[in-house]
């Protein structure tokens, strides 16, 4: 969970506090003292199981210190960890609200959710626009609250876990409903006000609430459908891409990186499926459904190097699949290591759309034109 809020530092200096907490495996006290040292991890087994090089915290500490701040951590085994970053900042002059910002002064909002972090975001967004917010855990409690409502509740916001259509809600007349939806679950129904939940954007939520309570009436198309859907490339379904020999396999253990890379592929017009480590990727590759593999180099259980080696070993007499490494290490030794393990090319993190597009144009086989024994665009030497 990420929490960001203003704070006062030593000497009454204004600043910002960023806290990242989890309920994971935790860190032993003997490890905390050396946690910010380069390449320090709890132990080799941890590095093997969960991936990573050990540089991230050392780099983070240096960056924070360069900004005059400090970073700290508290943790306990089997209970999780909390990292805190404190950075000094100057107070900024409050901005004047933009003319097109939604005015929710006096609007009462009921948010139905069990997600603590999402509830904080909804509350902060709505309060900033002048609304008041209450949170309930389930739909039954929301119905009871609406029936007992004597204070003028106008809008109910449902998070994506509440699977119910507008016609089934049964709220009293005059109570508007906003559905938070995940990208894959959006029904595109013109009878529902839908706002994307991940990420939940400030202006999108405010526009949805304003529409639900009648403060705005001209943005239904923006909320019910993707405003940019006609501007984006038509992405084939997974099955269509598989049939056309254009389906991409992405091996990446970091959830955020997976979502980002899949979205980049989608924006470029490609369908993809994901594996969380090399072992899963190898099983998926063996199905023969994929035309190209994008793989992180450092993953738990089986990393990208071992994955590429295993693939090349099994395909000696079959179709050669283009394997593209995606690495945060742009050093020459790393790129050569990728090639030595049978990878065809490599991309550096963070991925840039133009570079990813060029790489796919180079290596992704054209439909029904995979070469046996050699990768597409393979360089061959000719006798002079």
Count Cβ neighbours within 10 Å for each residue of 325-357 and write b for 16 or more, e otherwise: bbbbbeeeeebebbeebbbbbbbbeebeeeebb
Across 58-67, 130-139, 176-185, 363-372, least confident range: 363-372
- The β-bridge partners of 132 are 108
In this predicted structure, what is the pLDDT of residue 332? Answer: 66
In this predicted structure, what is the pLDDT of residue 187? Answer: 54
Residue 293 has pLDDT above 60, yes or no: yes
Q: Mean of the per-residue pLDDT values for the chain? A: 81
pLDDT in tens, 299-336: 888 999 999 999 999 987 677 889 999 987 766 678 88
Fold adopted by 238-363 = Rossmann fold (3.40.50)
Question: Per-residue pLDDT averaged across 344-354, rounded?
Answer: 89
Question: Does residue 128 sit in helix, strand or coil?
Answer: helix
In this predicted structure, what is the pLDDT of residue 35? Answer: 84
Residue 346 has pLDDT above 70, yes or no: yes
Residue partners of 96: CB distance under 8 A and separation at least 6: none
CB atoms within 10 A of CB 59: 11
In this predicted structure, what is the pLDDT of residue 150? Answer: 55
Indicate the CATH number of 108-224 among 3.40.50.1220, 3.60.10.10, 3.40.50.2300, 3.40.50.2000: 3.40.50.2300
| CA–CA distance, 88 with 29 (Å, rounded to integer) | 28
pLDDT bin (cut points 50, 70, 90) of residue 222 is very low
In this predicted structure, what is the pLDDT of residue 221? Answer: 45
What percent of the chain shows pLDDT beyond 70? Answer: 77
pLDDT bin (cut points 50, 70, 90) of residue 228 is very low
Question: Does residue 271 sit in helix, strand or coil?
Answer: coil
Q: One fold for both 2-88 and 108-224?
A: no
Indicate the CATH number of 2-88 among 3.40.640.10, 3.30.565.10, 3.40.1050.10, 3.30.413.10: 3.30.565.10
In this predicted structure, what is the pLDDT of residue 219? Answer: 43
In this predicted structure, what is the pLDDT of residue 229? Answer: 43
Domain boundaries, the chain: 2-88, 108-224, 238-363
| CA–CA distance, 130 with 152 (Å, rounded to integer) | 15
pLDDT in tens, 24-57: 888 888 888 788 876 544 455 554 555 555 577 8
What percent of the chain shows pLDDT beyond 90? Answer: 41
Give the tokens for residue 154.
Answer: 């106008």
The edge-to-edge listing of strands for the beta sheet with 80-88 is: 2-8, 14-21, 80-88, 70-76
Residue 227 has pLDDT above 50, yes or no: no
Residue 6 has pLDDT above 70, yes or no: yes
Residue 375 has pLDDT above 50, yes or no: no
| CA–CA distance, 241 with 222 (Å, rounded to integer) | 29
pLDDT bin (cut points 50, 70, 90) of residue 170 is low
Q: Phi then psi for 98, rounded to 5 degrees?
A: -65, 155
| CA–CA distance, 248 with 263 (Å, rounded to integer) | 13
In this predicted structure, what is the pLDDT of residue 5? Answer: 87
Question: Per-residue pLDDT averaged across 171-182, rounded?
Answer: 81
């Amino acid at each position: 969970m990420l929490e960001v809020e203003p704070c006062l530092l030593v000497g009454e200096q204004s600043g910002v506090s960023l806290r990242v907490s989890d309920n994971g495996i935790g860190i032993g006290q003997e490890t905390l003292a050396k946690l910010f040292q380069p390449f320090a991890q709890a132990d080799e087994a941890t590095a093997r199981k969960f991936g990573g090089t050990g540089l991230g915290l050392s780099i983070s500490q240096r960056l924070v210190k360069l900004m005059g701040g400090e970073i700290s951590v508290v943790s306990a085994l089997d209970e999780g960890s909390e990292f805190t970053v404190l950075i000094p900042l100057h107070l900024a002059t409050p901005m004047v609200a933009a003319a097109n910002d939604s005015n929710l002064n006096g609007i009462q909002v009921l948010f139905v959710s069990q997600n603590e972090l999402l509830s904080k975001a909804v509350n902060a967004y709505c309060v900033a626009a002048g609304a008041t917010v209450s949170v309930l855990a389930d739909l039954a409690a929301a119905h009871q609250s609406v029936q007992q409502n004597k204070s003028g509740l106008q809008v109910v916001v449902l998070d994506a876990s509440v699977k119910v259509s507008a016609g089934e809600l049964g709220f009293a007349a005059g109570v508007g409903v906003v559905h938070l939806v995940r990208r894959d679950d959006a029904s595109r129904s013109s009878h529902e006000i839908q706002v994307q939940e991940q990420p939940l954007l400030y202006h999108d939520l405010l526009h949805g609430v304003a529409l639900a309570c009648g403060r705005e009436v001209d943005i239904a198309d923006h909320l019910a459908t993707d405003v940019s859907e006609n501007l984006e490339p038509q992405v084939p379904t997974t099955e269509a891409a598989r049939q056309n020999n254009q389906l991409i396999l992405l091996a990446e253990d970091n959830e955020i990186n997976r979502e980002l890379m899949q979205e980049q592929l989608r924006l470029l017009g490609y369908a993809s499926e994901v594996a969380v480590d090399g072992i899963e990727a190898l099983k998926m590759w063996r199905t023969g459904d994929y035309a190209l593999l994008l793989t992180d180099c450092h993953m738990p259980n089986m990393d990208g190097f071992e994955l590429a080696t295993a693939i090349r070993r099994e395909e000696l007499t079959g179709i050669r699949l283009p394997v593209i490494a995606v690495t945060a290490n742009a050093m020459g030794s790393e790129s050569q290591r990728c090639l030595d393990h049978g990878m065809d090319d490599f991309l550096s993190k963070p991925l840039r759309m133009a570079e990813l597009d060029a790489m796919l144009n180079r290596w992704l086989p054209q439909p029904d034109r995979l070469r046996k024994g050699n990768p597409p665009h393979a360089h061959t030497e000719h006798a002079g």
